[in-house]
Every structure is written in structure tokens, then in C-alpha cells.
Amino acid sequence: MSKKTVFNDLKLNEKGLIPAIIQDYSTKDVLMLAYMNVESIKKTLKDRKTWFYSRSRDKFWLKGETSGNIQAVREIYLDCDNDTLLVKVDQKGSGACHTGDWSCFFKNVDLESGRFNDEDHS
């Protein structure tokens, strides 16, 4: 194991945040993207559940705290240039999206026209 921790390498943006891609461990579906800071990464490591930081609300939030749709952390990766996290989780409940969808990425863009395909309730 390396002597360096994720906190040694981490490059935060000018707001002190790093984007975290959340991927379901078993289906490999990309579920959402949210932002963490140093403290929310620590809370995520400690609890093995995803904690994010909302700058607009100036607060930490535990994903699924109200909905019950908790994300149990399986693996965490930092990317090659240290400015993005990939967090692999077991998504609990109905899914990650506040709309009730499994994934936040349901608005499918038609490559020809740039329009949304209707079946994705966009």
C-alpha cells in the first residue's frame, strides 16, 4: 500500500470541491454526479455511505437520508490528474434520482437533431 493518501493527491476546484461520479457496482450504470469536499470524503470513508457537500445550501448531505435510497460504498478511485472521484456503490431502494428514476441520466439526446427522445420523459 502506498504511503500517500487520497488527501495528499486530491486537487480541489476553486470552491474546494471535487466532482464524484457515482456508479452502481453490480449493473455498472452511471447513477449521478455530485460534489464532495475534504470533510465529505472523510465522512464517506468513515460511514461507507456517500456524503456530498452542497455549496448553495452550505451543508453536507447524506445521499438517501430522507428517501432511504442510501448508496453503500464499495470502491473509490481518484483519476490520473487527481481532480475527479469515481465511487462505486450498491444503490439501495428505487434508485439515485430525486425523480424516482434509477439513474439521473434519463434524458436521451438524439444525435441527429440534438432533441430529447420523448420516451425518456424529458
**Interface with its own copies by CB under 8 A: which residues?**
1-7, 9, 19, 21, 23, 27-30, 32-33, 45, 48, 73, 75-81, 84, 86, 97-99, 101, 104-111, 113-118, 120, 122
Question: What's the min distance (Å) between Cβ of 88 and its own copies?
Answer: 9
Q: Which is nearer to its own copies, 66 or 113 (CB)?
A: 113
Output the CA–CA distances (angstroms, integers) from residue 83 to 38, 61, 91, 93, 98, in the order listed. 12, 21, 24, 29, 26
Q: By C-beta, is 27 or 94 nearer to its own copies?
A: 27
Shortest distance, position 68 Cβ to its own copies, whole Å: 19
Between 5 and 68, name the residue whose CB sits nearer to its own copies: 5
Query: Is 28 or 59 the residue whose CB approaches its own copies more closely?
Result: 28
Is the distance from CB of 49 to CB of 72 less than 8 angstroms?
yes
User: Residue 114 is placed in which grid cell?
Assistant: 440534438
91-94: long-range contacts (C-beta < 8 A, 24 or more apart)?
Answer: 91/24, 91/31, 92/64, 92/68, 93/64, 93/67, 93/68, 93/69, 94/69
Output the CA torsion 69→73→75→78 (10° steps): 80
Smallest gap from residue 104 Cβ to its own copies (A): 4
Beta carbon of residue 73, minimum distance to its own copies (angstroms, whole number) = 7
